Amino acid sequence: MPLDKKPGVRGRTPSPDAAFDLWLQRGLHAMFDDVAKEPIPPELLALIDRDRKR
Amino acid sequence: MPPLDVATLPDADVSAVQSQECFHDMLVGCLPRLRQQAMALTRRRADADDLVQAAVTNALAAQASFIPGTNFKAWMARILRNRFLSDVRRRRETVEMDDAPQEAFSRPASQEASIAMDELRVNLARLPADQRIALMMSAVQGLSYDEMSAELGVAVGTLKCRVFRARKQLQAWLLGEAPVDAPAKAAKIDAGLGARAHVKVNRAATRGLHA
């Protein structure tokens, strides 16, 4: 879901707020997407697996 | 203990075993998003990993209390957040919170994309934790306010306010605009470390002005 974007008007230059929102959204994705893509620590998976086999 | 042979169990027990298997699969499946949320709350990778591990341990211990068919992601998100809040409360009594925001979200220097991204990392760490996670869940995980409300157990209006304030505050810090007026009450409610660090910075600055 996008940040609080103001409805843009076709053909007009984006407002500074909209430009900042876009930059912020990209920056946050760059920062947090890696975290989600990283492999899950094996000890965490092992913890779940041990409980599963219990 | 030998594995259960589901074929030999009565229907009710088969259902229980299947839902238990499903529970573990759901848990593994939601780990990536939990790690993002933990990162947004704690600001440090090592702390985020510890938080996720603690939340998973709590969830495994409490799995009997999860009602199959209800929102598992929300259930896990609440466990994670509650664990974070109890950790913060415990640490407040013993640990100085004056941690350096520069270290937040730290990565090897070679991975730094730009000075602007560094600035974003530093300033994101200054936000209260509850604003940070609301902003991340909205902008990165793409959740609606209703979904966020279910996961965090916080009213939609409050979440809208937190996302708005977070964005405006970052804009003010990063673009050098007038700072957002953050009432003391909001800083109290936002149980994040960032708020405390920021208050400390402000107090230090005030002392400097009067020196």
Asked whether A19 and B109 are in contact (CB, 8 A), the reply is no
Give the residue-averaged pLDDT of B32-60: 95
Nearest-5° Cα angle at B139, B190 to B172: 60
Q: Residue B25: which H helix or E strand, with range?
A: helix B11-29
pLDDT band at B150 (very low <50, low <70, confident <90, very high): very high
Which among A25, A47, A49 has the least Cβ separation from residue B139?
Answer: A25
What is the average per-residue pLDDT within B45-60? 95
* Inter-chain CB proximity B139 and A30 less than 8 Å: no
Asked whether residue B136 carries a pLDDT value surpassing 50, the answer given is yes
Q: For A41, which residue in chain B has the nearest alpha carbon?
A: B49
B18-22: long-range contacts, CB 8 A cutoff, minimum separation 24: B19/B68, B20/A52, B20/B63, B21/A52, B22/B68
In the stretch 96-115 of chain B, residues with CB closer than 8 A to chain A read 105, 113
Task: Please list every residue in chain B whose beta carbon sits closer than 8 Å to the beta carbon of residue A28.
Answer: 120, 124, 135-136, 139-140
Q: Please list, in sequence order, all residues whose beta carbon lies within 8 angstroms of the beta carbon of residue B20, skipping any fewer than 6 positions away.
A: A52, B63
User: Does the ipTM exceed 0.90?
Assistant: no
B17, B18, B110, B140: best to mutate for the A interface, most A CBs within 10 A: B140
Of A10-24, B43-57, B165-179, B184-198, the range with the lowest mean pLDDT is B184-198
B53 close to A (CB below 8 A): yes
Partner residue opposite B139 with nearest CB, options A16, A28, A53: A28
Interval A37-51: pLDDT, tens = 999 999 999 999 999
Q: Judge residue B179's burial from the number of C-beta atoms within 10 Å of its C-beta, 0-12 exposed, 13-18 middle, 19 or more buried.
A: exposed
